[in-house]
Amino acid sequence: MVLHKLKRLFSKLGAGCINKIWRLGAGGRLFWLTLISSGESFRRFRLTIREVYFTGVLSLIIILVSAFFVGMVLALQGYHTLQKYGSSEAIGVLVALALVRELGPVVTALLFAGRAGTAITAEIGLMKATEQLSAMEMMAVSPIARVIAPRFWAGVIAMPVLATLFSMVGILGGYLVAVPLIGVDAGAFWSQMQANVDWEFDILNGVFKSVVFGVACTMIALFEGYDAPPTAEGVSRATTRTVVTSSLAVLGLDFILTSFMIAV
């Protein structure tokens, strides 16, 4: 009896592991197929532009509003701590570095996964459930080239743009709290920021991070949609998995990227 239960437990564990590895491999395969068949999404760039509109432009409101509030909160919290050490002028550096290096790319990616990633998964899952993808294959149109690749490149383009806007608007929010509200000197705010934020090490690394997150988030959303069981329940579960997997992937990748960037 006990042996039987133990056997079931282990086979469950094994099946789970095999399933995870299979999904990773299938995701990698889809990524590769997307890359090699993405010629069309550049030849017919209008396809990609359309998707940039849906993933990027329509995410603009949520990204900008949250950036504004994140910047303001950063300034308030930062001031609270910095003034204990009598260095409240360093608040500009704090806000800018936190946003440009970490919060800009990461929070944008998390919001992007929730706002655009779920939409991509649901759309592709429904396309699959209603057999639109099969219909394309019947007409000798590759659904990967026609549907997946433009969405992928749109996500890769939109993410760094959104992250850069996030950082900029966040800094403006921090400025509004620090200078007019708290009364930090405006000159010190900007000059300390300029003295301590490096173009290459901070800003370009942040943009690079957001490009990586763009690849990861969009690819996970596309794979979950492409892999979803063609039922209503399957699509809804795939949508949930997109958010969970993307968020974990972004946070994990962020640690890896940051450790490489700081180490060099």
Q: Which residues are at the interface with other proteins (CB under 8 A)?
A: 46, 49-50, 52-53, 56-57, 60, 96, 100, 157-158, 160-162, 164-165, 167-169, 171, 190, 193-199, 201-203, 207
Q: How far is the CB of 105 from other proteins (least distance, A)?
A: 13
Measured from the CB atom, the residue of 162 and 212 that comes closer to other proteins is: 162
Smallest gap from Cβ 93 to other proteins, in A, equals 10
Of the two residues 178 and 238, which places its CB atom closer to other proteins in the complex? 178
Give 158 or 219: the residue with its C-beta nearer to other proteins. 158
| Whole-angstrom distance, CA of residue 129 vs CA of residue 78 | 49
Element (H, E) at 193: helix 186-196
Query: Which C-beta is closer to other proteins: that of 203 or that of 215?
Result: 203
Per DSSP, the residues of 84-141 read GGT-GGGHHHHHHHIIIIIIHHHHHHHHHIIIIIHHHHHHHHHHHHTTHHHHHHHTT-
| Shortest spacing between CB 119 and other proteins, in angstroms | 15
Residue pointed to by tokens 């620090």: 178
Rounded distance, CA 262 to CA 206, Å?
12
- Residue 31 or 68 with smaller CB distance to other proteins: 68
Whole-angstrom Cα distance, residue 165 to residue 197? 17
Q: In whole angstroms, what is the distance from residue 196 CA to residue 94 CA?
A: 10
CB 144 within 8 A of CB 32: no
